[in-house]
Amino acid sequence: MCELFAMSSRQAATVNFSLEEFSRHGGLTGPHKDGWGIVFFEDDDVRIIKDTTPASTSPWVRFLEDHPLRSQIVISHIRKATLGELSLKNTQPFTRELGGRQHVFVHNGHIPGIQDPKSFELGFYRPLGTTDSETAFCVLLGRLQHLWLASDWPPTSAARVEVLRSFARDITSLGLANFIYSDGELLVAHGHRRRQEDGEFGPPGLHMLIRECPHSDRSFETTGLTVAPLDQRVALFASVPLTDEPWRPLAEGEVLAVKDGETL
């Protein structure tokens, strides 16, 4: 199965990101060797890097280590292909514009029923590739479209989160449905089930860690993050804990919305 990683922070931070540890899972210490990708939100747009080679050997991971990027929202994915050939169009994260914002989605699981047009309407958006994950993203955008194109723009956080909750409830009936989504302001994570170390499928499908860094007079480095001398709060999500810190497992079906590192 794939693995997910995301960060939401009060102040822009680098994610050298446990990037080293996370990328090891992409073909070195884990079987997720079918490509990887990462998105950094910046100025209402995104910087995106995707590669079909394993993250553990990708030159783009080395590039990011040598050229660290700062962002308040970062989303990443390492792939173990279950549906769709090895190609960039099937590599996550997936991005689309809606309502003048970039929207980003990553999914871990298998939900083939999402591609049944009788049950899940695509609306305006169509997938470029052949994965169930990208189809799910297009379905989600179709449900969000009326909010983002309404006259009272931008939509409220509560309205957006309710659409995400309803979407999560619907797709969990199809299979394994861990996902992370962001519109550049909110980051929303849904934990479901995934294959555990004993080979059985069950919760947790995602873990969360909060780091708080009080104001200081100088920069310092903590595991995976370089923090400027500012009051900082960081929310991290990962399929499996990336450090020995107290990561909290999300309950099956739990949806969390985060803004600037704060849980809403």
Highest-confidence range of 2-6, 19-23, 101-105, by mean pLDDT?
101-105
- Given a contact cutoff of 8 angstroms between Cβ atoms, the answer to whether 116 and 45 are in contact is no
Q: Is the pLDDT of residue 263 over 60?
A: yes
pLDDT for the residue numbered 83: 66
Q: Which of 42-46, 79-83, 157-161, 191-195 has the lowest mean pLDDT?
A: 79-83
Between 41 and 67, name the one with better pLDDT: 41
pLDDT for the residue numbered 1: 62
Q: What is the CA radius of gyration of the chain?
A: 17
CA 177 to CA 105: how far, in whole Å?
A: 12
Cα first-last separation, the chain: 29
CATH number at residue 34: 3.60.20.10
CA 238 to CA 4: how far, in whole Å?
A: 5
Record the tokens describing residue 80, joined without a space: 């173990």
- Given a contact cutoff of 8 angstroms between Cβ atoms, the answer to whether 3 and 22 are in contact is yes
* Residue 117 pLDDT grade (very low, low, confident, very high; cuts 50, 70, 90): confident
Q: Of all residues in the chain, what percent carry a pLDDT higher than 90?
A: 61
Q: How many domains does the chain have?
A: 1
Q: Which of 151-165, 179-193, 197-211, 222-236 has the lowest mean pLDDT?
A: 222-236
Highest-confidence range of 50-59, 78-87, 137-146, by mean pLDDT?
137-146
Q: Which of 56-60, 102-106, 258-262 has the lowest mean pLDDT?
A: 56-60
* Residue 65 pLDDT grade (very low, low, confident, very high; cuts 50, 70, 90): confident
CA 55 to CA 220: how far, in whole Å?
A: 27
pLDDT for the residue numbered 25: 52
DSSP state of 149: T
To which H or E segment does residue 135 belong? helix 132-148
- Given a contact cutoff of 8 angstroms between Cβ atoms, the answer to whether 187 and 235 are in contact is yes
| Coil, strand or helix at 141 | helix
* Count of CB atoms situated within 10 Å of the CB of 224: 22
The overall average pLDDT reported for the chain is 87
Highest-confidence range of 61-70, 110-119, 179-188, by mean pLDDT?
179-188
Question: pLDDT tens, 194-225?
Answer: 988 888 889 999 999 999 876 554 554 555 55
CA 226 to CA 178: how far, in whole Å?
A: 28
The predicted model scores a pTM of: 0.88
Residue 248 lies in domain:
3-263
Task: Give the residue among 111, 112, 76, 109 at the shortest CA–CA distance from 91.
Answer: 76
Torsion of CA 111, 26, 262, 212, to 10 degrees: 160
Helix pair 132-148, 157-172: axis angle to 10 deg = 150
pLDDT for the residue numbered 67: 79
pLDDT for the residue numbered 182: 98
pLDDT for the residue numbered 221: 58
Pairing of strands 194-195, 187-191: unpaired
pLDDT for the residue numbered 162: 98
CA 160 to CA 183: how far, in whole Å?
A: 10
CA 59 to CA 36: how far, in whole Å?
A: 12
Question: pLDDT tens, 76-86?
Answer: 999 866 666 77
pLDDT for the residue numbered 7: 95
For CA atoms 20, 22, 27, 30, the dihedral sign is: positive
Catalytic residue set: 2
